[in-house]
Structure 1
């Protein structure tokens, strides 16, 4: 660690004496350097955290000290017996007013001795930090040889820099964090929200974000156009050596993620092969293939969900770490075999839509797929994963609410609408009353003979006899489809 003012004053061979109160300033703050200058305003040549050594009292002590404090000077040393005896009282008073530590340098102590002490400590600290960076980098490199290379590297980085480290996956979710309990839900959400625009840009980028767990530095991982995630590192107080270590980890993590791409692609193809074997009825073969790599297939009863949407790949990546049942990609669809809650959660997270079958067994998947496809046509923004159970409960007439059915119905009813726009409503009321003219006429507020005439007009316009059940059923279906 660099020298502090306390350590500097404690060196007996230097003989320095603090002239201001020991409560002024931060006597334990690290000193960046020591510099001597008798310029009226030396601040353009100084940096924050430095010690200034002078032999001449300034003309305006108050303004002089104020400039030093505003510039971040750590302390002021006055050399006695060079130009004058003792230290000037007005300089001491100004330092007391502005909170700048002032110490006296006796004539026997050359300024170079003070400078050398600070410089030696700065050099020793730099050497120690560089040595630490080499050891830390070596430990992280060895961690990369473990089976879970990425997790081991990030865990070792967190241990070496004593800061939290997290990996935001390509889907924007915080997948891993080290230490495991370092981030609460709010911190994870803040990291995800900050990483999202970096991932959406598709380019190598960096950023920062403040969280309940402190500030984090963000760095994308992977090549431009195929980003694999974002590395988030707690950045509070990181020095140059620690930043060098983090830079090395960014390269290692990016390499580990790129190497896992081939393995991920192989797992995806294996999942697809298992799914197609299940659909073909080769359940025993599918189970034997899936067990050692993907885990056991789910027990019956299960439900089959078919999902689609632009974020299908990101959803599949997320399911690799979060799925409880079986899933696979089949063309432009994501298949999930499990419970309805799992499919609904994935759809909500990645803005997907689809359909969900009824309870089934693995030996009845073709029928379950047909059910999910039927339900998928009923999915809406309010109900992104429609259930076949709901479709079946609504009855056959509920299937009429499709664009195709509506188009056919509007065409068949067009003669009625063209002749009298109110005629479809009259016919719907008549059919809802089971074709009983007296009941329907009362509901419509007209005479029953008038209603008979309106129905006769409809028969003429449609070119069909509405006395038969089949004709009435066809008309009723068309009216329901356009409702």
Structure 2
């Protein structure tokens, strides 16, 4: 359906209108400007009674033949008021439009057309009214058709994403949805935004979400206009929908508003479903921690294929956002996972072949993971303990139990309590070293590092082996233990490590 414009009226053969402007170039785009209405007046200055984007019809009774200045002033007033075009009724008071009126219109770029005597002004106004009504009907029909298409799309798998894609096709603009964390989770057409615009738009979305209030906002991202609409209630925003446009007509806005409401409801329902699922998964986790995967399989239907890894995230990890990310990966890439909240931190189980998921989540959400060794579900409790231990042993984004275990058993015993016990145990030889300047503690450390072999230890210390033997005997007496036995040597080695230098 053509927009109601002057060009539309000129194309109506039944009206027989004739454009008098010498060339279309002289009137620029005025022929295609939407017309608000058609009005007729023979006043010399009708501007107080006119509106912008109006087409004026006149018989020219107010104009004096040959008065170019009058014609120039008349057309100037119309142009300044925003009149879109001037129609001249021929053969009423003038045989045709006066030359001075044609010249004035040409000079000011005002479209001038002739209305023949057999075409009443009311016919022109009625034709324009019919065009407006036809356009309104066409837009209402479009809106109804769009609403039907969106309702059908909502019934498809991944209904919300299907609905947004259908919306993008119906209004012919890019549409994107951002989650509560500001991440772009769906767009159509996919990957069609330039990187600078996408980055700038994400920043605007983040600011809108940070404010936490319901809003509809116009923004510019890398020079491109966008409309942003929040999802959810104020203080509980669930995301943002963005449209790559600067304006919507009433019908398009109605369609978009229905999609926003649908998306907000969908996000609220998803939130409730996620909370219910989180409670269920926490209960399933308790079963797994008893090394019994039977209940989990009955409830969930399936679990990641063994051997699996158990990961425990830091307590500040955004569990809901991580589960949502994993769910998208499940739908897009077939990721098999199990996630649940626990007092120790979020637990995430994946197959050993999917170990890279932990690093991806750590990078995406800035959280730390402790990850167990790979094993079957019959060892789940032990794997969970390994993951908790690994999480507490390092500040890396992902810490594997295998890496911490290789640091030795003695390292696991280096607690504050062990240090206090070790310092008390070594106090007698440290007091002698401090009083006499001897080096008994270092001698014992080097001796044990060389497997208690006298010659190798003496060479490392730069002393005679008889001197070394004498120092060991003195330390044995001070400590009250027989360092010729393995248990005494093992206890001394642990004490030296726990106490430090």
In the superposition, the TM-score normalised over structure 2's length comes to 0.72
Contact 1:51 1:73 (8 Å CA) reproduced: yes
Alignment of 1:59-458 (within 5 A): 61=72, 65=76, 68=79, 74-77=84-87, 85-88=98-101, 90-95=103-108, 100-106=109-115, 108=117, 112-144=122-154, 148-179=158-189, 191-210=201-220, 215-235=225-245, 238-291=248-301, 296-308=302-314, 309-323=316-330, 324-332=335-343, 333-338=345-350, 339-380=354-395, 383-396=396-409, 398-399=411-412, 431=445
- Provide, for residues 212-244 of structure 1, a one-character-per-residue CA deviation record: whole Å limited to 9, x for no partner: 896432212222333222222343563221111
> Following TM superposition, by how much is the alpha carbon of 1:372 offset from its aligned partner in structure 2, in angstroms?
0.8
Q: Name the count of aligned residue pairs.
A: 450
What is the CA-CA distance between 1:33 and the residue it aligns to? 3.4
Residue of 36, 45, 48 corresponding to 1:32? 36
CA distance in 1, matches of 2:425, 2:207: 51
How is 1:2-17 mapped onto 2 (pairs within 5 angstroms)?
2-12=3-13, 13-17=15-19
Structure 1 residue 336 displacement after superposition? 1.3
197 and 406 in structure 1: CA distance in 2 versus 1, 3 angstrom threshold: farther
Distance in 1 separating the partners of 2:84 and 2:440: 92
Aligned-partner Cα distance in 2 for 1:169–1:17 = 54
Show CA shifts across 1:283-334 (max 9, x none): 233223222xxxx322222211101315222222222222523222233422
Q: Which of 470, 474, 479 is the matching residue for 2:495?
A: 474
Distance 1:67 1:11, change over 3 A: closer
Q: Which moved more, 1:335-344 or 1:5-14?
A: 5-14
Q: SS at 2:347's partner residue?
A: strand
Question: What is the rounded CA distance, in whole Å, between the counterparts of 1:336 and 1:390 in structure 2?
Answer: 19
| Whole-Å separation in 2 of the counterparts to 1:32 and 1:336 | 62
CA RMSD of aligned residues (A): 4.6
Q: Do the aligned partners of 1:400 and 1:406 also contact (CA within 8 Å) in 2?
A: no
Q: In 2 relative to 1, CA 404–195 (structure 1 residues): closer, same or farther, beyond 3 Å?
A: farther
- State the distance in 1 between where 2:256 and 2:357 align: 37
Residues 209, 216 of structure 1: 8 Å contact kept: yes
The runs of 5 or more residues in structure 2 that have no matched partner are: 451-456, 484-488
Q: TM-score normalized by structure 1?
A: 0.75
